[in-house]
Amino acid sequence: MAINLKKMPEEGDIVLAIVTGTTVHAAFVTIDGYENVEGLIHISEASKTWVKNLKTHFRPKQKIVCKVLEIKKRGFVHLSVRRVNDYDRRAKWDQIKRQKRVENFIEIIAKKTKKPFDEVHKMLLPFEKKYGEIYFAFEEAKKEGKSFFNSLKGINDELWELVDKSITLPVVEIAGTLNIISTAGNGIERIKTILKGTEENISYLSAPNYRLLVKAQDYKEAEKKINELLKVLNKRAKKTETISFSREKKK
User: Which of 103, 133, 166 is at the close of a domain?
Assistant: 166
Give the Å distances, CA to CA, from 163 to 23, 40, 125, 126, 134: 46, 39, 17, 17, 12
Q: Report the distance separating Cα 126 and Cα 221, nearest Å.
A: 27
Statement to judge: residues 160 and 113 lie in one domain: yes
Q: What integer pLDDT is reported at residue 3 of this predicted model?
A: 73
Cα gap 180→237, rounded to integer Å: 9
Q: Report residue 35's pLDDT band, with 50, 70 and 90 as the boundaries.
A: confident
Q: 111 in a domain, yes or no?
A: yes
For residue 216, what are the β-bridge partners?
172
Q: Which domain holds residue 64?
A: 14-83
- The confidence band for 250, taking pLDDT boundaries of 50, 70 and 90, is low
Backbone phi and psi for residue 173, each to the nearest 5 degrees, phi listed first:
-125, 145
pLDDT tens digits, 46-60: 999 999 999 999 999
In this structure, is residue 6 part of a structural domain? no
- The answer to whether residue 68 sits within a structural domain is yes
| Exposure on the CB side of residue 101, measured as CA atoms within 13 A | 18
Please choose, from the candidates 196, 194, 174, the residue with its C-alpha nearest in 3D space to the C-alpha of residue 186. 194
**Phi, psi at 164, each rounded to 5°:** -60, -35
In a domain, 235, yes or no: yes
Same domain, 93 and 69: no
Q: Say how many C-beta atoms besides its own lie within 10 A of residue 195's C-beta.
A: 18
Please give the tally of structural domains in the chain.
Answer: 3
| Average pLDDT over the chain, rounded to an integer | 93
- In a shared domain, residues 237 and 191: yes
Residue 3 lies in a domain: no
Residue 104 placed within a domain: yes
Is the pLDDT at 190 greater than 90? The verdict is yes
Residues 6+ apart with CB under 8 A from 234: 243
CATH code of 74's domain: 2.40.50.140
Q: What whole-number percentage of the chain has pLDDT above 90? A: 84
> Could you read off the pLDDT of 146-171 as tens digits, one per residue?
999 999 999 999 999 999 999 998 88
d(CA 84, CA 89): 6
The answer to whether residue 149 sits within a structural domain is: yes
DSSP assignment letter at 35:
S
Neighbour tally for 154: CB within 10 Å:
13
118 and 55 in a single domain? The answer is no
Assess whether 73 and 109 both reside in one domain: no
CATH number for position 120: 1.10.150.190
Together in a domain, 156 and 188: no
